[in-house]
Amino acid sequence: MKLKMKLKDKPKNIITACFYIIIILFILLCSSCGGEKETAQTRSVPKYSDSFTFFDIGKNSIISKDIRKELNKKLGDDSVEGKNIINLEINYKGFLKEYFPVFDKLNQQLNFPPGKIVQHRTIKLMYRYARKKDIFFDYVEFIFLEDTKLPVLIQIDFKKDYSNIIETLKQKYGSPKIINLNKKNEKSLYWEKNSDLLILSCTLDRFGKPKYQIMIYFTENMNKLLKSEQTKKEKERQKRTKSEEAAF
């Protein structure tokens, strides 16, 4: 009798187990859907970049023939110079010293000794015909390190903000800090990202018309340049010392 009862109960137990398995699977499916919704909501929240880019050129971009071709398509033909002066100053002499002492120190190091023309082993790309490509920039300049091909500085000059670039920068990098300059309606907006700096300045020309300039400073790459140059100078000094010692 007991055996018969167990045999009779077995189908019921199987049905009950299947029922619980279905419930568990349903709960897991709901949790999975909820997780996907949460992920989608998280992704919809804007995430600001950890540095700055201009036409996809950022602090880790390595200049190449292909990249130059792409830039030429967007900005027109370029002019190239090697061994360049690097001047980080913007707006007026002393602006960096007043508001960005770290970059003022970098500027001094890049132009030491003072009063002398200091040229660095860099590649400068200059674009003066962007308007022919229906781009509103009047002048664009990139400076890359000669050895690593990484960028140290980007400069963009334009006279009218046709594309509302200020709002574009706000959407991409967040709200800027503002520096009101000496003259009425002149100001500089700036963003800082992981030691890099982007400044957008709106000043007036001699006719009282607005003009804009953007400077993007890639600090880590500038320090790499200075370190590389210091190492080279030290090797040259040691070489001279050995030559002088060998003379006697």
32: left (phi over 0), alpha (psi -120 to 50) or beta: alpha
Residue 7 has pLDDT above 80, yes or no: no
For the chain, give the number of residues: 248
pTM recorded for the entire structure = 0.77
pLDDT at 141 over 60: yes
Amino acid type, 93: K
Question: Which of helix, strand or coil describes residue 208?
Answer: coil
Predicted pLDDT of residue 114: 87
pLDDT at residue 246, as a whole number? 67
Residue 33's SS3 state is helix
Residue 23 has pLDDT above 70, yes or no: no
Per-residue pLDDT of 144-164, as tens digits, reads 999 999 999 999 999 988 778
- pLDDT for 59-79, tens place per residue? 999 999 999 999 999 999 999
176 or 233, greater pLDDT: 176
At 7, the amino acid letter reads L
Measured over the CA atoms of residue 180, residue 181, residue 185 and residue 191, the dihedral's sign is negative
